[in-house]
Chains A and B, each alone.
Chain A
């Protein structure tokens, strides 16, 4: 039962262009969503998050959009840089209506490659 899905295993974009990574979820109890970035041989690092009361959150080149009715979120990276090449994981949590702590459910990840 995959509650968080990233249907694109990989994405390749040109430097300077926009990267759009997508994530779908099925559990309507999820109320907080995060994106993590992972380089090889390192643990994931937090990138950006969004609460279910918002539909957009922006931090520099990174913007996360949330469409609750579609149970879909996306991460936009503009402009993309070669250093952005990594695996990106979408994660969700359900503190308000679910567990009492920040238990995260992760997607499978999308490998982003940004070509110079």
Chain B
């Protein structure tokens, strides 16, 4: 079956511009996560969605970052007024249940802010 997909795969943007990243989770997966991986570092949790519950936004680094999810499907991560330190690979993952430890990751979006 189809895995987690993300678009675009690569995005180069100028400092100060807004960007929107998209994630399509595996069908039927109720939990969705966004992570960020900066060069040479581990994955950094950003936000978690589960059904209609309020998302856990505790990992968002600043108010320039926001995310939405439509029901149990597509999610978008928006970064406003991008800064160079936002350059990273942004990874989306989904899992069948919220308590499932096994998360399935998409290929990521590589964001470069110039």
Contacts and interface: CB of A to CB of B under 8 A. Distances in A.
A6 B43 CA distance: 12
A105 B99 CA distance: 15
Contact of A45 (B42, B101, B105, B108): B105
B87 interface: no
A12 B98 CA distance: 36
Contacts of A44: 43, 91, 105
B42 A4 contact: yes
Contact of B99 (A100, A104, A106): A100
19 contacts: A6-B42, A34-B101, A41-B107, A43-B91, A43-B106, A44-B91, A46-B102, A46-B104, A49-B101, A49-B102, A91-B43, A95-B99, A100-B99, A102-B99, A103-B56, A104-B45, A108-B40, A108-B41, A108-B42
A43 B107 contact: yes
Interface of B: 4, 31, 33, 35, 40-45, 48, 50, 56, 91, 93, 95, 98-108
A49 B104 CA distance: 14
Nearest to A44: B105
Contacts of B41: 108
Interface string A18-41: 000000000000001010100001
Contact of B103 (A6, A100, A104): A104
Chain A contact surface mostly? loop
Interface residues of A, number: 28
Interface in A14-72: 32, 34, 36, 41-46, 49
A106 B42 CA distance: 6
